[in-house]
């Protein structure tokens, strides 16, 4: 795997940033989480005048071999059908990108369908879906390294445009299954508490999903990859998920603001921060979704989500919905007057 140079944010400006926030013409602390966000963003960018210029959204698509075991109510063809739908502007992700001014990149990392001739889809296909991790690792070491580098290269493309904010979404039927296993392995939470309905499984479907993932876990533990951090990511992950990890790590390395979406992207953030703990300092966790276990995963990471809207669509939609709050935090620190300039008596 590529080595990343991810440093903790430099705290030398923290006192100056906090003084600026505290001296805005408002009661100290009265803007709550906006003040916390402003401090985090200023530290990431090492400035008292932060910017959210050229926000980019990566929509990464990939299929999963484990889907063949009936762990999702949705069939795998929905992945490629939705990818094409996104190119026509008809998805939830399209609407929110338009609303909030994000440049959308739709990327085929491992969809089980030939999308190479579809205008609007960036072709970075590694293979037509991962292998079935019930029986074998989802991807080879070479495929894992390739997926990491796809994420790195996509972020570099965004950087060339002056991007300061990166949002990542996914499209991949059955990707709640590897997410649940990563949560179980990296947070030491019982597997049953990590498994939910995904796109809409009933109770019997959830029971079946638990049985399949339990068997997969037994085989993983007996394999040569068992107990190894990178091995767990490779054994269970989807191409779109590993590319997201690569993108997050590159974004942290380059001091970008990373908006973390729902259950799947939080699982990717979890894996990324287990590999490089300092990467979490560059992440804003945008919402807690309805997928079973998401709240527990966020708590295990000591992450405070901005929203809880009952979302479970994926695609990065929750992160995009939260963007106006982040924008408000930046506008607060850049545009609010202070007590001295406003000629208001400072009363604390």
Catalytic residues: 315
Are the beta carbons of 184 and 43 closer than 8 angstroms? no
Nearby residues of 43 by Cβ (< 8 Å), 6 or more positions away? 9, 10, 11, 13, 14, 17, 281
Question: What is the rounded CA–CA span in Å between residue 300 and residue 302?
Answer: 5
Integer Cα distance of 67 and 162 in angstroms: 38
Neighbouring-strand partners of residue 169: 59
Q: Which residues contact 84 (CB under 8 A, 6 or more apart)?
A: 115, 118, 121
Alpha carbons 27 and 175: distance in angstroms, whole number:
45
Q: Label the pairing between strands 257-260 and 56-62.
A: unpaired
Rounded CA gap, 263 and 319, in Å? 11
14: how many CB neighbours lie within 10 A of its CB?
13
Q: Which helix (H) or strand (E) holds 59?
A: strand 56-62
Is residue 261 within 8 Å of residue 311, measured between CB atoms?
Answer: no
Helix (H), strand (E) at residue 16: helix 14-22
């Amino acid at each position: 795997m590529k080595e990343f140079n991810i440093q903790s944010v430099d705290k030398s400006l923290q006192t100056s940033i906090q003084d600026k926030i505290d001296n805005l013409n408002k009661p100290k602390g009265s803007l709550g989480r906006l003040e916390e966000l402003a401090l985090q963003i200023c530290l990431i960018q090492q400035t008292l005048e932060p910017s959210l210029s050229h926000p980019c959204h990566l929509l990464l698509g990939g299929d999963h071999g484990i889907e063949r075991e009936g762990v999702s109510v949705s069939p795998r063809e929905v992945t490629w059908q939705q990818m094409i739908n996104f190119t026509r502007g008809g998805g939830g992700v399209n609407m929110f990108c338009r609303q909030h001014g994000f440049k959308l990149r739709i990327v085929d990392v491992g969809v089980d369908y030939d999308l190479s001739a579809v205008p609007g889809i960036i072709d970075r296909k590694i293979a037509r879906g991962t292998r079935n991790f019930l029986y074998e690792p989802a991807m080879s070491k070479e495929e894992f390294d390739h997926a990491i580098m796809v994420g790195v290269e996509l972020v570099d493309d965004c950087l060339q445009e002056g991007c300061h904010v990166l949002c990542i979404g996914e499209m991949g039927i059955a990707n709640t299954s590897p997410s649940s296993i990563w949560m179980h392995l990296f947070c030491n939470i019982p597997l049953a508490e990590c498994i939910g309905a995904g796109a809409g499984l009933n109770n019997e479907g959830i029971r079946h999903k638990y049985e399949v993932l339990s068997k997969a876990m037994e085989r993983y533990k007996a394999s040569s990859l068992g107990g190894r951090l990178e091995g767990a990511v490779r054994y269970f992950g989807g191409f779109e998920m590993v590319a997201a990890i690569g993108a997050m790590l590159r974004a942290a390395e380059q001091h970008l603001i990373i908006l973390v979406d729902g259950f799947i992207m939080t699982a990717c953030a979890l894996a990324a921060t287990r590999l490089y703990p300092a990467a979490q300092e560059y992440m804003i966790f945008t919402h807690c979704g309805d997928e079973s276990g998401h709240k527990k995963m966020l708590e295990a990471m000591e992450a405070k989500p901005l929203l809880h809207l009952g979302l479970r669509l994926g695609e990065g939609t929750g992160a995009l919905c939260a963007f106006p709050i982040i924008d408000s935090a930046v506008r607060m620190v850049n545009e609010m007057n202070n007590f001295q300039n406003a000629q208001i008596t400072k009363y604390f």
